[in-house]
Structure 1
Amino acid sequence: MTQPRIPNKTVTFIDNYCSVYQKLFPEVRSYEAFKRLHLGMTAEIKRKTLPAIAKAVGLKNEQSLLYFLTESAWSVQEVRKQRLEIILKKLGGEEIILIIDETGDKKKGKKTDYVDRQYIGNLGKIEAGIVSVNAYGIWQGMTFPLLFKIYKPKKRLKGDDVYKTKTQLAAEIITELQEIGFKFELVLADSLYGESETFISVLNQYKLPFIVAIRSNHAVWMPNEQKVRVNSWKQFERIFTSGKTENRYMREIIFGKRRTLRYWQITTDKKTLPENSTWYVMTNLSDAPPSVIGNNYGLRTWIEYGFKQCKNQLGWADFRCTNYHQIERWWEIVESVFLMVSLQFEGINQPENVGNNSPDKDLLLKLHQHPWWNRMSGWNHRLNNLRLLLQPYIYYCLIKPWILLFNNRYLQLGFQWLIQIMNEFLGFVFYDAQVEDLSFSSA
């Protein structure tokens, strides 16, 4: 019996992360395409199209990547299951803050599944585009993607499709995450979900703490003799993940009498109440002080901005396929790359926190001497640092045709020496005792 060949290597920290998924792919070339897409999506390429990724990772053309997305017999559900298991293992049973939001991207034409004229959030207007409902988690400063569900407009439903609103999709996501084993410290969402009985009822069903946005004209039933009261403004310190602080103001809006649900108005300027930085929120955290409510709700806008960065940096909307089965595959790989970057957490930027026995520590101390290295904690900074580690491999792939054409042995050896150094970085993932051939370093 012929033994399958060993998969070609890319960059060590990407190979180590992708190794956990290897058993899910029916053939070596599909697994190699999976790794190369992780490499290409992480790399500093302006548009993450398959031709651009193919050049960056050293392929003659994009055919193997296209085959992987369109024909290869791998299951997106199994890849998603494995990704969520990685997150659960990392959490170790701890609770997370869950954020629900929809994301949309402009798409031309009518051939792409579920594209229709609808509200596209990042454009702030109605355009032809594709929309999904997404869930992300926050834990100890780390952000990671959880689930996404495509929104199917009524006019674009196919054969067995059943129309579901965005709030119904969000409710399904919460139910699925609960059943998988995720525990929630808090749920955050914007006014689309805060005004939805369907969504709030699911939160109440699972007894989940929440802070959700509501419209400024939000109505609450109360007896005729009762009135709406607005308390005086209270100042609190908004603390950002970077450590930066800003003054914010909030006041409670009381509909008749205080209830289990409490209502607050939050703003950056209590005199002018700027539209873009004034929010109305509803919460069942009846005993929480204003600063806790204000800072926790602030995480929603922070993560939404962060996910916008991830989308733009990793190529969420750069797919060039029209069939949703293929789009879903693309999105799931983007989610996996997003997680891979997030798992680097503080280890890559704070080598002093890495164990003394870790083989990565000395290398990281050396890497930090690079003039472009950024020690700040943001997700985008970690991505840029990882891109520095990828540069020798990516640049070698791009220049290799010239090296071979002119037989420049010394330039080739120099690139290979530098690539070998970068490959000493194993990456910060986790150790899974069930996967016998892995021994990753841990953050």
Structure 2
Amino acid sequence: MKTENEAVAAQATVVHAGWGESFEALMGRVAGCFPRRETRLTCRNMVQGLLMVKDSANCWSLAEAIGHTGPHVLQHFLSRARFDTEAIRRSAAAWTVEQLGDREVMLVVDETGDEKSSLDAVGAARQYSGALGGIGLCQVAVHLSYVSADGHALIDRRLYLGEAWAADDERRELTGVPDETAFATKPQLAGAMLAEAHASGIRTAWVAADEVYGGRELRRRIRSLGYGYAITVPTSHHVTTPGGGKSKVTALLERVPKRAWMRLKTGHGTKGERLYDWAMIDVHPDDTPSGQAAGHSQVLIRRHRRTGSLSFYRTWHLDPQPISVLVSAVCRRWRVEEDFQGAKGLAHLDEGQVTCWTSWHRWSLMSVLAYALLAVGALQQRRHTTPADPDDDLAMVPVSPHELLALIRAFALPRPRQDADPAHVLRWSHWRRRHQHRAADCHRRWNNVTAVVIA
């Protein structure tokens, strides 16, 4: 018992010290992007608040937890305060990349949707979202995740404006969309983020994405940046094989001998290793930028060993790569799904009740910063933990961001103000009720005016 208590005490000390060091390092990195001390302190408070609040988060719940007397400071910070949002993102991304290291780097592009209740929110429209499981009223954003051998986290995002939204001058003006922001497809948004990552110093990496991003234009841009890629393609995708002419990827199955299939591990779950059968076929590259060598292009075929279901992937690298490396590049794409789950579930990425362009970018940025702290903190905890002995009855799995957040709330973060100050709870109760009364009264007045006009 004494040994276990000592281990718990040591864990608490490591968590507290590690969190404080990482938090101050990240806040110090972005501090120069704020021209005023007030906005710099609000940034610190908001990042902490996003991790303090357990239930749904908005300006009201964050302000109450932080200790503000109302949501006005946070609302001003998100919508009207003067600072360079993208300069902060670049500084935070550079810090995250440094902490996660540069071994076996991969840049993963994917999109996610946030359900909305109104068309008033910037970019909100009835559109497809995998997160919603179909078509619904939502905002869709394309994200970029940085994946290394040690960890992974989101480092960039772009809000997708559908073609109708981008052409609607009235809605653009109401939500503050900049004049220079034109319609861009999701692959074009992905290309812009990859170019930004390249300009920031990430020069050697694989790029992974799903079939939305498998078009020739983006693949050519990835190659022009010097990256290799492993991208899912649909069954309708056409390729040209040496001496075989042009055909759909599904037709390649006829050219794969039985002995060519390899059973490889694609990951490790709670129920054991996940194994699939894989085959690789060389194809002619159709996306070579001007002046660049052709390199080595393949189609990977993945077959479920029990159901026989198939998936197809287009890969390219300047140098020849063994199938094990290509399969690893394909499988590591799923790290972005873990980042989406963590950023939404732990840092409230999808809960910002914001309607305008600037406030959306700032809310998402604060969530990305909060999640980056958890991702880096979990990595630091793993480095301080002795690898588990399979024969040790007290062995534990590595600390996850979710588990780390529980420890940080217990040992490092301030307690939400309402948990320790009944007077604060009463003040907020009075404020909410007064605000709700005024809002209901305004709605009644407006309904009376519109009723007279219609009559």
Which TM-score band (shorter chain)? Answer: 0.7 to 0.9
The separation in 1 between residues aligned to 2:24 and 2:418, in whole angstroms, is: 17
Deviates more, 1:19-28 or 1:323-332: 19-28
1:281 aligns with 2:313: yes
Whether the 8 Å contact between 1:231 and 1:252 is mirrored in structure 2 is no
Residues 33-112 of structure 1 aligned to structure 2 (within 5 Å): 33-90=42-99, 96-112=105-121
1:184 positional shift: 2.9
- Give the Å deviation of 1:110: 1.6
Pairing partner for 2:362 from 329, 337, 355: 329
Q: Which residue type is aligned with residue 18 of structure 1? A: M
In the alignment, does 2:331 pair up with 1:298? yes
Shift, 1:88, TM fit:
4.8
Deviation of 1:82 (Å): 1.6
Aligned amino acid, residue 131 of structure 1: V
Give the AA of the match of 2:44.
K
Relative contact order, higher structure (CA 8 A, sep 6+): 2
Q: Secondary structure at the match of 2:153?
A: strand
Aligned-partner Cα distance in 2 for 1:201–1:230? 27
* Distance in 1 between residues matched to 2:407 and 2:422, nearest whole Å: 27
* Letter of the 2:126 counterpart: R
Q: Which residue of 1 aligns with 2:406?
A: 384
Which stretch shifts more, 55-64 or 323-332? Answer: 55-64
Change (3 A) 1:93 1:143: closer
- Shift of the 225–169 alpha-carbon distance from structure 1 to 2, 3 Å rule, reads closer
State the Cα distance separating 1:203 from its structure 2 match.
Answer: 1.6
Of 116, 130, 143, the match for 1:121: 130
1:386 CA displacement: 2.2
Q: How do residues 37-436 of structure 1 correspond to structure 2 at under 5 angstroms?
A: 37-90=46-99, 96-157=105-166, 158=172, 159-194=179-214, 196-221=215-240, 228=252, 229-232=255-258, 233-240=261-268, 245-253=273-281, 260-267=296-303, 269-274=304-309, 278-285=310-317, 287-351=320-384, 376-390=398-412, 393-395=414-416, 397-401=418-422
Letter in 2 for 1:106: E
- Cα distance in 2 for partners of 1:290, 1:81 equals 34
For 1:273, the aligned partner's letter is G
Letter in 2 for 1:64: V
Q: TM-score, normalised by structure 1?
A: 0.74
Tell me, in whole angstroms, the C-alpha distance in 2 between the residues paired with 1:71 and 1:44: 24
Listed one character per residue, the Cα deviations across residues 70-98 of structure 1 (whole Å, up to 9, x for unaligned) are: 22112202211221332354467766211
1:20 corresponds to 2:48:
no
AA at the equivalent of 1:279: S
CA contact (8 A) 2:203 2:227 kept: no
1:300 to partner: Cα distance: 0.8
Consecutive unaligned residues in structure 1, runs of 5 or more? 1-10, 354-370, 406-443
> In the TM superposition, what is the alpha-carbon distance from 1:200 to its structure 2 partner?
0.5
Q: Superposition RMSD on alpha carbons, in Å? A: 3.2
Task: Kindly state the Cα deviation for residue 291 of structure 1 after the two structures are TM-superposed.
Answer: 2.9
CA distance in 1, matches of 2:120, 2:35: 30
Alpha-carbon separation, structure 1, partners of 2:425 and 2:199: 54
Q: Does the C-alpha gap of structure 1 residues 244 and 270 become closer, same or farther in structure 2, counting only changes over 3 Å?
A: closer
SS of corresponding position for 1:343: helix
Q: Distance in 1 between matches of 2:245 and 2:219?
A: 27
- Whole-angstrom CA distance in 2 between matches of 1:37 and 1:177: 26
Residue 243 of structure 1: CA displacement? 11
Distance change (3 Å), C-alpha of 1:321 and 1:308: same
Separation in structure 1 between the aligned mates of residue 219 and residue 32 of structure 2, nearest angstrom = 39
CA gap of 1:161–1:237, structure 2 versus 1, over 3 A, is: closer
Distance 1:206 1:396, change over 3 A: closer
Which residue pairs with 1:7 in the alignment?
none
